[in-house]
Structure 1
Amino acid sequence: MKKMFLIAAVAVLGMNSADAQVKFGVKAGPQLTNIVGDDFEDSEMKFGFNVGGYANIRFSEAFAFQPELLYSMQGTKYSGSETETILGEEVTYDYDSKVNLSYIQIPLMMKWYAYDGLNFEFGPQVGFNVAAKYDTEQTITTSEGSITEQQDGDIEDAETVDFGLNIGAGYELPMGLNFGIRYGLGLTDVVKDVDGKNSVFSLGIGYTF
């Protein structure tokens, strides 16, 4: 992963910086996030959000480099029901759980402008975890009724650094308004010794000054 970031940096530095046009912008948008892996087989997508800024370094009509700094709300959710017999009586457990992760993300995107404002992007990303929490609601039902329990807290052993890759497409209007869609897949596990990586589909609306 370090080699990937080095290659991106060398590619940028190797371009003719004298001809580069640098513009700055802000962006935000909703996203659908999940954690995928053997230990998260029953996980479902949850709604998230991202917001931040970027620098668009345009080296030619066709190519640009765009580093970004984003705050990203990610995670997953899962629900289920289990029934077991205890002393001859059926007991049902219904649960709804959420994993809530917050990152400071730094995508390093290379952009290819295929036609006019239409562009495609690809690049690595490093994220720094600033919060990792869980929230679980469990309802226990017996013949005598039901009781609901709520549990929440910090996720122990959550990894502080998350490496990933992004791919996406977008369109930029001459007035500075732009729209984009992006998919990001984590390359490292979210929690130590647990098979589960971030998976994020995001939409972005931005404005370049």
Structure 2
Amino acid sequence: MKPLRLLALLFLLLAGASQAQAQFGIKAGVNNAVLDGQNINMDTDYKTTYHVGAFLRLPILGPLSIQPEVLYSLQGSQFKSTVANYDTKLHYLNIPVLAHVKVGPVYAEAGPQFGVLLGARENGTLRINAADGYGPVDRTADNNYKKNDFALAAGAGLELGSLIIGARYTAGLNNINDVADLNGANDPRLKNRVIQGFIGIKFGK
């Protein structure tokens, strides 16, 4: 878990540098996640998962702030075809760095997000062969997905005192599939899509 320790240290350094002007907070919420793309040859459905993390808000000018975050996010998708029905669970450490604009109790935010894949797993059923029919599958899938994910995030919400209520959409920009077809053509292209709803608590002035 070295990335978590490094990011925690970064947050502490930023908080010290910005002194009392910075606001620190924690947040948690629900993900509605899917893997979308091209040449998948299977149906992909949204899965309800979760995320949890912390943020640091650094004032820049007037209503504008920069808000880096550290989030653990469980993402993935449900895959369905005539021979398979299984879930893919992708465990990410996500680092969004957002421009945050607040006017009264209303805020909007947008910016890039960098993700590091901590682990992947597939579970469900697959067709073994014509004679044996379908069988359960529960396996590690770390080698099937690329380790890095780059996305754009945008959201909005309300701040009621120290309470934050918000929603966000993140769209992956790069193909995270790391499995190539034998002939090298028509490889599946998978991209993360996540709709988030969350609540948070902020501390500081």
Q: What interval of TM-score do these two structures reach, taking the shorter chain for normalisation?
A: 0.7 to 0.9
In the alignment, does 2:83 pair up with 1:97? no
Contact 2:78 2:86 in 1 (8 A): yes
Which stretches in structure 2 are left out of the alignment for 5+ residues? Answer: 1-16, 181-187
Post-superposition, which runs of at least 4 consecutive aligned residues in structure 1 deviate over 4 A? 17-20
- Say if 1:164 and 1:184, in contact at 8 Å, map to a contact too: yes
TM-fit CA distance, 1:197: 0.4
In structure 2, relative to structure 1, the CA distance for the partners of 1:18 and 1:28 (3 Å cut) is closer
CA contact (8 A) 2:98 2:111 kept: yes
TM-score between both structures, scaled by the size of structure 1: 0.76
Which residue number corresponds to residue 25 of structure 2?
Answer: 25
8 Å contact from structure 1 (residues 20, 57) kept in 2: no
CA apart distance, 1:112:
1.3
Q: Provide the residue aligned with 1:132 in structure 2.
A: 120
For residues 143-182 of structure 1, what are the structure 2 equivalents within 5 Å? 148-155=134-141, 156-174=143-161, 176-182=162-168
Shift of 1:147: 5.6
Equivalent residues, number: 177
State the alpha-carbon separation in 2 of the partners of residues 162 and 71 from structure 1: 14
- The answer as to whether partners of 1:33 and 1:199 remain within 8 angstroms in 2 is yes
Q: Deviations over 1:179-203 (max 9, x none)?
A: 1100000111122253010000001
Task: Tell me whether 55-64 or 127-136 shows the greater mean CA deviation.
Answer: 55-64
**Number of the residue aligned with 1:205:** 199
Residues 186-197 of structure 1: pairs in structure 2 closer than 5 A: 186-192=172-178, 193=180, 194-197=188-191
- After TM superposition, give the deviation of residue 39 of structure 1 in Å: 3.1
Equivalent position SS for 1:196: strand
- In structure 2, the residue matched to 1:121 is 109
Q: Residues 18 and 58 of structure 2 are in contact (CA less than 8 Å); yes or no, is this contact kept in structure 1?
A: no
Matched letter for residue 146 of structure 2 = E
- How far residue 207 of structure 1 moved from its aligned partner, in angstroms, is 0.1
Look up the equivalent residue of 2:194 and give its one-letter code: V
> Contact 1:21 / 1:59 at 8 angstroms: preserved in 2?
no
Please, which moves more after superposition, 183-192 or 153-162?
153-162
The equivalent of 1:108 in structure 2 is 97
> 1:58 corresponds to which residue?
59
Q: Which has the larger radius of gyration?
A: 1
Give the secondary structure class of the aligned counterpart of 1:179. strand
SS in 2 for 1:58: strand
Q: Mark the runs of 5 or more structure 1 residues left unpaired by the alignment.
A: 1-16, 82-92
Q: Specify whether residues 31 and 134 from structure 1 end up closer, same or farther in structure 2 by C-alpha distance, changes over 3 A only.
A: same
RMSD, aligned α-carbons: 2.5
Q: Deviations over 1:116-174 (max 9, x none)?
A: 0201111001000001111131478x9x9x96410121222411111110011011112
